[in-house]
Chains A and B, each alone.
Chain A
Amino acid sequence: MAVDEIMILNVDFDVYNSNANLSATDFQAELMPARSIYQGQTMIASVVATLAEVGDAFQEIVDEFAEVPGVEIGDVGNDTHRVPMTIDSPAPNALEEVTRRLQECRGVAFVDVVFVHFENESESEPAANSGEMDNS
């Protein structure tokens, strides 16, 4: 088993104990304290954010999207309830992270995936402890 897998499965949960009421996002973020999302391989994706009723705040919300690293906003035309975006991800796991950040932006009801290109992605890892086998 690779070292990083051991680390993933044997997370030191003491880090949570300072705060018994972490949000779901905080909890997940804390699960990966050593994770660096801006290293490694690259992926390109696009998503559509569906907005709740946002009224005059539309441009502010779009500006907030634009501040998320790797995100580029597409042309929204006259439609102010769906915003197309690309995510240029310098790390495979960054897509999840960026999507989560977008989901948590003000006024966002849902973020759906539209396109993903993962040609340069590193090979997937074995799931930890998924059966010891000797193929010899």
Chain B
Amino acid sequence: MNGDLQPTTDAIQRRQFIKASAMAAAAAVAGGTNFTLPVLADEPAAGVQWEKAPCRFCGTGCHVQVGVRAGKVVAVAGDRNADVNKGLLCVKGYHVGAALYGKDRLTKPLLRDGDRYREISWEEAIKTIADRVEAAPERFAYYGSGQWTIPEGYAAQKFMKGGLSNNHIDPNARLCMASAVTGFLATYGVDEPAGCYDDLDECDVLIMWGNNPAEMHPVLFSRVIDRRSRGEKITLIDIGTRRTRTTEACQHYLEMKGHGDLAIANGIAHLLIKNGTYDRRFVESFCNFKASDDETPNLHGKPISFDDYRKYLEPYTPEHVEELSGVPADQIRMLGDPFGNPKLKITSLWCMGMNQHTRGTAVNSLVHGVHLLSGHFGTPGNAPTSLTGQPSACGTVREVGTLAHALPGGRVVANEEHRQQSEEYWNVPTGRINATPGYHTVKMWKSFCSPTDQGGDIGTIWVQVTNPGQTLPNLNKLFNPKGDNKAGLEDKFLIVSDVYPTATTRLADLILPSAMWVEKNGVVGNSERRTQQWFKMVDPPGDARDDCWQTIAVAHELFDRGMDGMQDRDGQFLFDVKDENGKSVPVWDWEHYYDVNVDEQLFEEYRQFSRLKHKDLAPYSEYVKARGLRWPVVEIDGQWRETHFRFSEGFDPYVEPGKEIQFYHSSTHDDRAQIWFHPWIAPAEVPDDDYPFMLCTGRVLEHWHSGSMTRRIPELNRAMPGGYLEIHAEDAAAHDLRNGDQVKIESRRGSLVIPVWIDGRGQPPRGTVFIPFFDETLLVNDLTLDALDPFSKQPDYKKSAVRIRKV
């Protein structure tokens, strides 16, 4: 408050009222009263309008109430009516509203002109993109993310696969949860967790596999801590490669070497069989056994018998697992005990630690397998559950299928029947959809950064809602050549839609200003199969516009030019949107984009796809009323009912009566899940004499992913201003390092000079260092390895061999 101005009585009263509202909200959450949050709306002078929305940041899917006054977001409150967060938010909730108001929001389309940018009109921007697409549609690629809303991702998907017959569309989620997808597919024949957050309220044992929810999914972790503070007995076990804030709250910490998780999971299975404590009835009733088919590796593998499985596991004694993982044998036995106890309810959580892994599919499958083998599956509190880091990694990437091989609703381009179904829903000519999968993320960027005459056949990439210039692995190879070494790349063209300047816009040829969060309508899907909707509440700044509109506008420009792909079978525009009278609305014209609810129409069209894999979605109007619904959402007796636990009788409407557990998308078509054996295999790169440290990368509490939003929030930027290297005190002493010293860290791919933090927030063991990736001035991905999981094509950001020296 300006000290020269005395606050007026009205201002004081208003402030007191706000404070009373804040206290009432907190008291309601703490005490479980029925207070409703939009109390500010009750004050006539406040003029605050409240509406619901999911938080913009992570994949937890917390619901917030957003307070808007005079066209600006002025307040945010946790939504008491939301099952996900029950009124609570993490500290990023302080700033989710302020993230809209950074001073350097992009507000005009900008076209590179030599080393400068010049403002251009949207018309010129759209024509520029259309020129690139029209000239070589097969060389065009779309790179999106799990921050695309469902309608945005669906529009991009339809534009590419249903319009251009081009499958070169992939999301940044390839970098964060693709191995979770392949793990679910290999095990259950269908993607996404069977359990949900309710398991956190029921479990007796919570195991975090390379996961740090205290910082990455704090509201979920708080939910568990709250149970303990109320006197409930719950055992928390942290399996990780460094101590984190999560470790502090756990009774057990199992510190493993990279890829130790493969051995640990096999060690648990070994103990269950050796001790006879596996769930024989569950296994015989609901499971098969599989192993890798080394001759033709695929997600079906080869069938094996229980005896084969037991034989494969024999070497994984606790002592052998200790050798492989670094976890003491007695701790392996400690971990095996609860799995052998049918009275305990066990939930496993994981995220990047298991997914960013060159054996990511394998370790995901093994953890599912441990739950299946022990029968810790299918009842509340018994679930293997992967978490996601983006608000719609599940809703958009996994369900809409914005992946190079996928079509909406769990379909794949390689399947003729799936292509025909999609062509039918899209009303496009038979054969329009290309049967060949497009390029996955790493391959797409490698092609873009390779000269055309050397096989670099991607000429143009359009990036929306993500920051590959900071987050791709091995950046010097996959991104920086576009900027630092342009020889042979002059014909490449990078288009970036974003809300702020980023490491990616720096190298863009065309920058488009986008609307963000409650500046547009949206629908997203969180980590527990929950689909969530919100309405636009404020206008975007300047000429910023919705990403979905941008796609539709380019499509229509191509339609106007006569491109066949932008027409359906009837010659109508691919994105023909009608008003309530059935009259087409020119939504490609921004002035008319909000004449109708484009989101609703796209969602209703997409909803048809959701039934094949029993991921049924309710009508859009149901999500308007709800704080999200978990699919399958099925209409029963006139009510749309969500599903808490999938594959379980009594919860999942698609399980036949009397089946108890039914894996109705089983890859073996016998309603059984697959328990896999995969051997321990060393990481793709391990420390040696030249590069003696293992580098792990990750996130921090204050900054969300690459920091493009959170670093603009002064409070968060001050709380965590820059990147750092965490190192063990003894390793630091051996290198004569003290806190704040600068070190040069080098891998075989790049180097970085960065300050040291000894025994900091996270505490790596000797031989391991950690660097967060949020700081675009210290690009840790110059160092990381681009080795991939063979099935998911997800890179391993957690294990790169490096060396350090004081500078």
Q: Tell me the A residues contacting B by CB distance below 8 Å.
A: 8-9, 11, 13-17, 19-22, 24, 27-28, 31-32, 35, 41-48, 50-53, 72, 74-77, 79, 81-86, 88, 90, 92-93, 95-96, 99, 109-110, 112-136
Chain B residues lying within 8 Å of A79, measured Cβ to Cβ, are 30-31
Chain A residues lying within 8 Å of B99, measured Cβ to Cβ, are 124
Q: Is B447 an interface position by the 8 A CB rule?
A: no
Interface string of B720-753 (1 = CB under 8 A from A): 1110000001001000001111100000000000
Stretch of B82-90, B148-156, B292-300 with 4 or more beta carbons under 8 angstroms from chain A: B82-90
Nearest residue (CB) in B for A76 is B30
Nearest residue (CB) in B for A119 is B74
Of A19, A88, A116, A123, the contact of B94 (CB 8 Å cutoff): A116
Q: How far is the CA of A15 from the CA of B94 in the complex (A)?
A: 30
- The total of Cβ contacts below 8 Å across the A-B interface reads 261
Given the interface pairs A16-B738, A96-B716, the reply to whether A21 lies near B729 with Cβ below 8 Å is: yes
Which of A46, A74, A125 has the most CB atoms of chain B within a 10 A radius of its CB? A46
Stretch of B115-123, B281-289, B368-376 with 4 or more beta carbons under 8 angstroms from chain A: B115-123
Q: Is the CB of B97 within 8 A of A118?
A: yes
Known A-B contacts: A20-B732, A127-B717, A131-B505. Give 6 more (CB < 8 A): A8-B722, A50-B225, A75-B31, A109-B228, A117-B21, A130-B711
Q: Which of B479-517 contact A (CB under 8 A)?
A: 500-503, 505-506, 511
Given the interface pairs A117-B22, A119-B69, A131-B501, the reply to whether A90 lies near B776 with Cβ below 8 Å is: no
Q: Is B103 an interface position by the 8 A CB rule?
A: yes
Q: Is the CB of B110 within 8 A of A27?
A: no
Q: Is the CB of A28 within 8 A of B222?
A: no
Given the interface pairs A48-B26, A77-B31, A127-B712, the reply to whether A17 lies near B740 with Cβ below 8 Å is: yes
Chain A residues lying within 8 Å of B624, measured Cβ to Cβ, are none
Of B77, B108, B777, the contact of A116 (CB 8 Å cutoff): B77
Nearest residue (CB) in B for A133 is B117
Q: Is the CB of A127 within 8 A of B1?
A: no
Q: How far is the CA of A117 from the CA of B27 in the complex (A)?
A: 16
Interchain nearest-CB distance for B578 vs A (Å): 38
Interface string of B755-791 (1 = CB under 8 A from A): 1011111000000000000001100000000000000
- Give the top 4 A-B pairs by smallest Cβ distance, nearest first: A13-B740, A131-B501, A84-B26, A16-B739
Q: Is the CB of A113 within 8 A of B88?
A: yes
Of B104, B720, B721, the contact of A130 (CB 8 Å cutoff): B104
Q: Which of B105-149 contact A (CB under 8 A)?
A: 108, 110, 116-119
Q: How far is the CA of A81 from the CA of B722 in the complex (A)?
A: 36
Given the interface pairs A130-B104, A131-B506, the reply to whether A110 lies near B221 with Cβ below 8 Å is: yes
Q: Is B686 an interface position by the 8 A CB rule?
A: no
Task: Number of B interface residues at 8 Å Cβ cutoff, please give it.
Answer: 90
Interchain nearest-CB distance for B18 vs A (Å): 5
Chain A residues lying within 8 Å of B103, measured Cβ to Cβ, are 123-126
Interface string of B186-230 (1 = CB under 8 A from A): 000000000000000000000000000000001101100110111
Q: Is the CB of A114 within 8 A of B25?
A: yes
Q: Is B336 an interface position by the 8 A CB rule?
A: no
Interchain nearest-CB distance for A8 vs B (Å): 5
Q: Is the CB of A131 within 8 A of B503?
A: yes
Given the interface pairs A16-B739, A20-B758, A48-B30, the reply to whether A93 lies near B718 with Cβ below 8 Å is: yes
Given the interface pairs A9-B722, A124-B99, the reply to whether A20 lies near B90 with Cβ below 8 Å is: no
Chain B residues lying within 8 Å of A75, measured Cβ to Cβ, are 27, 31
Interchain nearest-CB distance for B405 vs A (Å): 33
Q: Is the CB of B758 within 8 A of A92?
A: no
Q: Which of B28-42 contact A (CB under 8 A)?
A: 29-31, 37, 40
Q: Is B231 an interface position by the 8 A CB rule?
A: yes
Of B101, B226, B761, the contact of A123 (CB 8 Å cutoff): B101
Q: Is the CB of A125 within 8 A of B714?
A: yes
Which of A13, A41, A72, A122 has the most CB atoms of chain B within a 10 A radius of its CB? A13
Given the interface pairs A86-B23, A117-B22, the reply to whether A93 lies near B719 with Cβ below 8 Å is: yes
Given the interface pairs A15-B740, A92-B715, A116-B97, the reply to whether A130 lies near B502 with Cβ below 8 Å is: yes
Of B77, B713, B718, B758, the contact of A8 (CB 8 Å cutoff): B718
8 contacts between A and B (CB under 8 A): A43-B94, A93-B719, A109-B226, A115-B21, A117-B22, A119-B72, A125-B713, A127-B712
Q: Is the CB of B94 within 8 A of A21?
A: no
Q: How far is the CA of A25 from the CA of B134 in the complex (A)?
A: 55
Q: Is the CB of A86 within 8 A of B29?
A: no
Chain A residues lying within 8 Å of B708, measured Cβ to Cβ, are 127, 130
Q: Is the CB of B22 within 8 A of A112?
A: no
Q: Is the CB of A81 within 8 A of B94?
A: no
Which of A13, A72, A74, A116 has the most CB atoms of chain B within a 10 A radius of its CB? A116
Q: Is the CB of B712 within 8 A of A24?
A: no
Chain B residues lying within 8 Å of A52, measured Cβ to Cβ, are 228-229
Q: Is B15 an interface position by the 8 A CB rule?
A: yes
Nearest residue (CB) in A for B219 is A112
Q: How far is the CA of A45 from the CA of B78 in the complex (A)?
A: 11
Interchain nearest-CB distance for A80 vs B (Å): 10
Q: How far is the CA of A8 from the CA of B87 in the complex (A)?
A: 34
Q: How far is the CA of A43 from the CA of B74 in the complex (A)?
A: 10
Q: Is the CB of B30 within 8 A of A74?
A: yes
Q: Is the CB of B104 within 8 A of A126?
A: yes
Interchain nearest-CB distance for A97 vs B (Å): 8
Q: How far is the CA of A44 from the CA of B230 in the complex (A)?
A: 28
Of B90, B98, B721, the contact of A11 (CB 8 Å cutoff): B721
Interchain nearest-CB distance for A48 vs B (Å): 5
Q: How far is the CA of A80 from the CA of B27 in the complex (A)?
A: 12
Q: How far is the CA of A41 from the CA of B76 in the complex (A)?
A: 17
Q: Is B707 an interface position by the 8 A CB rule?
A: yes
Q: How far is the CA of A32 from the CA of B8 in the complex (A)?
A: 34
Interchain nearest-CB distance for B19 vs A (Å): 5
Chain A residues lying within 8 Å of B777, measured Cβ to Cβ, are 9, 128-129
Q: Is the CB of A110 within 8 A of B225?
A: yes
Interface string of B457-499 (1 = CB under 8 A from A): 0000000000000000000000000000000000000000000
Interchain nearest-CB distance for B100 vs A (Å): 8
Chain B residues lying within 8 Å of A51, measured Cβ to Cβ, are 229
Q: Is the CB of B719 within 8 A of A96?
A: yes
Q: Which of B616-671 contact A (CB under 8 A)?
A: none
Q: Is the CB of A17 within 8 A of B738?
A: yes
Q: Is the CB of A93 within 8 A of B91?
A: no
Of A22, A92, A115, A118, the contact of B739 (CB 8 Å cutoff): A22
Interchain nearest-CB distance for A105 vs B (Å): 14
Q: Is the CB of B23 within 8 A of A46?
A: yes
Which of B110, B230, B721 has the most CB atoms of chain A within a 10 A radius of its CB? B721
Given the interface pairs A16-B739, A84-B30, A95-B715, the reply to whether A130 lies near B25 with Cβ below 8 Å is: no
Q: Is B360 an interface position by the 8 A CB rule?
A: no
Q: Is B75 an interface position by the 8 A CB rule?
A: yes
Q: Is the CB of A112 within 8 A of B500?
A: no
Interchain nearest-CB distance for B575 vs A (Å): 31
Of A14, A24, A83, A124, the contact of B101 (CB 8 Å cutoff): A124
Nearest residue (CB) in A for B87 is A114
Q: Is B93 an interface position by the 8 A CB rule?
A: yes
Q: Is the CB of B755 within 8 A of A13?
A: yes
Chain B residues lying within 8 Å of A93, measured Cβ to Cβ, are 714-715, 718-719
Given the interface pairs A96-B719, A112-B222, the reply to whether A127 lies near B776 with Cβ below 8 Å is: yes
Interchain nearest-CB distance for A113 vs B (Å): 4
Q: How far is the CA of A21 from the CA of B743 in the complex (A)?
A: 18
Given the interface pairs A46-B26, A115-B21, A117-B67, the reply to whether A127 lies near B711 with Cβ below 8 Å is: yes
Q: Is the CB of B77 within 8 A of A114?
A: yes
Q: Is the CB of B31 within 8 A of A45?
A: no
Nearest residue (CB) in A for B97 is A118
Nearest residue (CB) in A for B507 is A131
Q: How far is the CA of A46 from the CA of B97 in the complex (A)?
A: 16
Q: Is B102 an interface position by the 8 A CB rule?
A: yes
Q: How far is the CA of A117 from the CA of B493 in the complex (A)?
A: 43
Chain A residues lying within 8 Å of B40, measured Cβ to Cβ, are 117
Chain A residues lying within 8 Å of B505, measured Cβ to Cβ, are 131, 133
Q: How far is the CA of A96 from the CA of B221 in the complex (A)?
A: 19
Chain A residues lying within 8 Å of B760, measured Cβ to Cβ, are 22, 24, 27
